[in-house]
Chain A
Amino acid sequence: SQQGEEDPQALSIQEGENATMNCSYKTSINNLQWYRQNSGRGLVHLILIRSNEREKHSGRLRVTLDTSKKSSSLLITASRAADTASYFCAPGPGGGGFKTIFGAGTRLFVKA
């Protein structure tokens, strides 16, 4: 099994600012995914980065992966009030494993 630990636990920013969230993990991974969860809803997949990739972009999202440091970051640029949510990283286990263990997440609050 593999757990991601998100940092910070909570983040409050003004609309238009950038938000950066970090994730650390302990063992080897196949890939790493980021999910968002709005209050009272299920998780929504945002982006997947493979272990042989260092950076990936999707719209206003930028994800980096440093396998030597076993860490990843999620950057949301030009944040909007609608980005207010909890964000979770999910390290995809290597070796054909399937158990995904989520951390407590980062709670992002974007003030309008």
Chain B
Amino acid sequence: GAGVSQSPRYKVAKRGQDVALRCDPISGHVSLFWYQQALGQGPEFLTYFQNEAQLDKSGLPSDRFFAERPEGSVSTLKIQRTQQEDSAVYLCASSSPGRASGGGDTQYFGPGTRLTVL
């Protein structure tokens, strides 16, 4: 596609429910990032994939958060047993390594998924 797409755009979950957020990166982009953005704050790094390999998951807030990218393209961020503090916008970004690999490359962001946990 022309850009990074994310689905759903909005998700309302009851506390304790599991949710799955999808990211379709730009075709051919090797790097994929997930961020969590609270209202009025900057995006906070969650995890990074290079192709199908999850090279860094240090930003995942708890073991309820799990991300995968099994075929090196589409990625899913899963949150189990959602809590109210999980309410945020979840942003996905992809990039294609240039001279500066990984985080130093231009990242192309999707529109985000706004998760509200009641």
Q: Which residues of A are in contact with B by a Cβ distance under 8 Å?
A: 1-2, 29-31, 33, 35, 41-45, 48, 88, 90, 92-94, 96-105
Interface range on chain B (Cβ under 8 Å from partner): 20 to 34
List the 9 closest pairs (A to B, CB-CB), nearest first.
A98-B102, A92-B104, A42-B109, A102-B42, A98-B103, A100-B103, A30-B104, A30-B100, A43-B109
CB neighbours (8 Å) of B25 from chain A are none
Determine whether the beta carbon of B42 is less than 8 Å from that of A92. no
Asked if A97 contacts B41 (CB within 8 A), the reply is no
B107 lies within 8 A of chain A by Cβ: yes
Q: Check B41 against A104 for contact (C-beta < 8 Å).
A: yes
Which of A41, A90, A100 is the one whose CB lies under 8 Å from B111?
A41
- A-B contacts, 5 of them at CB < 8 A, read A1-B45, A42-B4, A42-B93, A44-B109, A98-B104
A45 and B107 contacting across the interface, CB-CB below 8 Å: yes
The answer to whether A45 touches B108 (Cβ under 8 A) is: yes
Q: What residues of chain B lie closer than 8 Å to A44, measured between beta carbons?
A: 109
Tell me if B48 is interfacial: C-beta within 8 Å of chain A.
yes
Q: What 1/0 flags go to B24-35 for Cβ under 8 Å of A?
A: 000000010101
